[in-house]
Amino acid sequence: MAQSNRINRREFMQRSALGSAAMGTALTDSHGGPADPSRPVPASEKITIGMIGVGARAQQLMDAILVLPNVEIVSLCDAYTGRVERTLERTDRKPKVIKDYREILADKSVDTVVIATPDHWHAGMAIDALRAGKDVYIEKPLTYTIDEGIGIIDEVKKSGRILQVGSQGMSSRIQQRAREIIASGRLGQITMIRAQFNRNTADGAWIYPIPPDASTKTVNWEMFLGPAPQRPVDYARFFRWRCYQDYSGGMSTDLFVHLVTSIHFMMNAKMAGKVVAMGELYRWKESRDVPDTINAVLEYPEGFVANLSGTFNNQYGSESGFQILGTKGSLIVGETLAFYPEIVNQDNRWIVDSWPSAMEKAYYENPEVRAEEMPLTREPEVLLGSEQFREIGLDPTIVHMRNFFSCVQTRKQPAEDALAGHRAASCAHLVNASLREQKIVFWDFKKDVMKS
């Protein structure tokens, strides 16, 4: 299930309500890997957090942080004063308001940073934070371009810091159960995965309302632009940045990256080797230069293809979900999980019907043929039917962030480290490259970059 970023706050808080004692125990439950040599933060110490970017998604991340024990938001910065004010309201006005994120990085009292800015800022901020000795939680996608991923990975290795990418679907129990079922072999050989992300509203297409107080007094346009191309103040670009290639990879890096991260996790796959995509901007031409409809095919060396499709012009079925198709069964993954076994029988009647009658009669007198092709003539038996699962409990965002803070304490590798984040984002970048170049594009597994 590729978790949507559009869960409302009431639903989020309902899924985060639980006793502090239970949360204290859960914080140390990490599914990370080998120990990191860097100094761990003692469990008795409070982990301090600097928020770099406090927009809509960051506000949800803060809701998750506020229900976790032994963590505290101590500073924040953003290019819009309205977001700063809402953050102060949400945190009892305790954090310091900082004008430049570099001041947060220079503050020795800050242990970790949460980076939730537009994509074009991600790599620079992440590298700056790692070099400043901070552990980093960074919203997906990890990168704005493919090449940035290698630099971030190298910096993580040099610094010995923890970096977790925020694509939280893999921390849902639904996807973890799906991974277990796939690993058990119950689906048989999996050769096809279909994954979708569909919407049909203006807000779903990122055409968000612009705050009525937007002005040069409340919006720091230069802070927002940063490394992006210079242009005059444009509040549509500021508040709807996902719609523009200068700051985002559009549907591929905002939505498909969730699908790819989950596919890699559930299938224990590393990276697509070949990608081809088609798409266009058909409808939402206001405030946008990225497609509103994309269909992509990713081929994996593990032996399967994944079809990623998305449109902002129809939301039939669930907003997001997966069909994982194997020779012995299928998994349908979304808000719930369903397993459907393959119950199939050979049927050669239309072929055998063309044979001479005596030959046809002899064919069906064979007990093995009758058992396979005439199941209603067999002795009665009860076959396993479908199985359905649903998830209750903590929102996956809380679990994902809990894993990060646990790894900050233990120095174990997090659920989605820099390499995993680089590859997931790179699949999205390959989709965009194929759209742009109108051809199949390939991955260089030795260099972990797109083949030139």
Q: Is the pLDDT of residue 39 over 90?
A: no
**What is the 3 state secondary structure string of the chain?**
CCCCCCCCHHHHHHCCCCCHHHHHHHHCCCCCCCECCCCCCCCCCCEEEEEECCCHHHHHHHHHHHCCCCEEEEEEECCEHHHHHHHHHHCCCCCEECCCHHHHHHCCCCCEEEECCCHHHHHHHHHHHHHCCCEEEEECCCCCCHHHHHHHHHHHHHHCCCEEEECHHHHCHHHHHHHHHHHHCCCCCEEEEEEEEECCCCCCCCCCCCCCCCCCCCECHHHHHCCCCCCCCCHHHHHCHHHCCCCCCHHHHHHHHHHHHHHHHHHCCCCCCEEEEEEECCCCCCCCCCCCEEEEEEEECCCEEEEEEEECCCCCCCCEEEEEEECCEEEEECCEEEEEECCCCCCCHHHHCCCCHHHHHHHHHCHHHHHHHCHHHCCCCCCCCCEEEECCCCCHHHHHHHHHHHHHHHCECCCCCHHHHHHHHHHHHHHHHHHHHCCCEEEECCCCEECC
Average pLDDT of the chain to the nearest whole number: 91
Per-residue confidence (pLDDT) for residue 277, from 0 to 100: 98
Is there a domain that residue 301 lies in?
yes
Per-residue confidence (pLDDT) for residue 8, from 0 to 100: 53
Say how many CA atoms lie within 13 Å of 358 toward its Cβ: 0
Span 94-123, average pLDDT: 98
pLDDT band at 311 (very low <50, low <70, confident <90, very high): very high
Q: Could you give the dihedral angle defined by the CA atoms of residues 149, 151, 152 and 154, in that order, rounded to the nearest 10 degrees?
A: 120
Q: Is the pLDDT of residue 348 over 80?
A: yes
Per-residue confidence (pLDDT) for residue 378, from 0 to 100: 82
Is there a domain that residue 35 lies in?
no
Is there a domain that residue 255 lies in?
yes
What are the beta bridge partners of residue 330?
325, 340
Is there a domain that residue 409 lies in?
no
Q: pLDDT over 70 for what percent of the chain?
A: 90
Contact 49, 431 (CB under 8 A): no
Q: Domain residues for 281?
A: 183-329
Contact 323, 210 (CB under 8 A): no
Q: Is the pLDDT of residue 20 over 50?
A: no
Contact 208, 240 (CB under 8 A): yes
Give per-residue pLDDT as tens, 53-72. 999 999 999 999 999 999 99
Q: Is the pLDDT of residue 252 over 90?
A: yes
Residues in the chain: 452
Task: Give residue 417's identity as a one-letter amino acid code.
Answer: D
Per-residue confidence (pLDDT) for residue 11, from 0 to 100: 54
Per-residue confidence (pLDDT) for residue 324, from 0 to 100: 98
Q: Which residue has the higher pLDDT, 287 or 60?
A: 60
Query: Which pTM value belongs to this model?
Result: 0.90
Per-residue confidence (pLDDT) for residue 376, from 0 to 100: 86
Q: Is the pLDDT of residue 26 over 70?
A: no
- The structure tokens listed for 235 are 């509040």
Is there a domain that residue 273 lies in?
yes
Q: Is the pLDDT of residue 137 over 90?
A: yes
Give per-residue pLDDT as tens, 140-196. 999 999 999 999 999 999 999 999 999 999 999 999 999 999 999 999 999 999 999
Task: Give residue 175's identity as a one-letter amino acid code.
Answer: Q
Of 30, 50, 128, 12, nearest in space to 401 by CA: 30
CATH number at residue 310: 3.30.360.10
Is there a domain that residue 341 lies in?
no
Is there a domain that residue 264 lies in?
yes
Spatial separation of the C-alpha atoms in residues 162 and 164, rounded to whole Å: 7
- Span of 17-26, 102-111, 323-332, 348-357 with lowest mean pLDDT: 17-26
State the sign of the Cα–Cα–Cα–Cα dihedral 34, 39, 45, 47: negative
- The structure tokens listed for 28 are 């140390």
Span 351-373, average pLDDT: 94
Q: Is the pLDDT of residue 23 over 80?
A: no
Number of domains in the chain: 1
- The structure tokens listed for 99 are 């004008």
Is there a domain that residue 155 lies in?
no
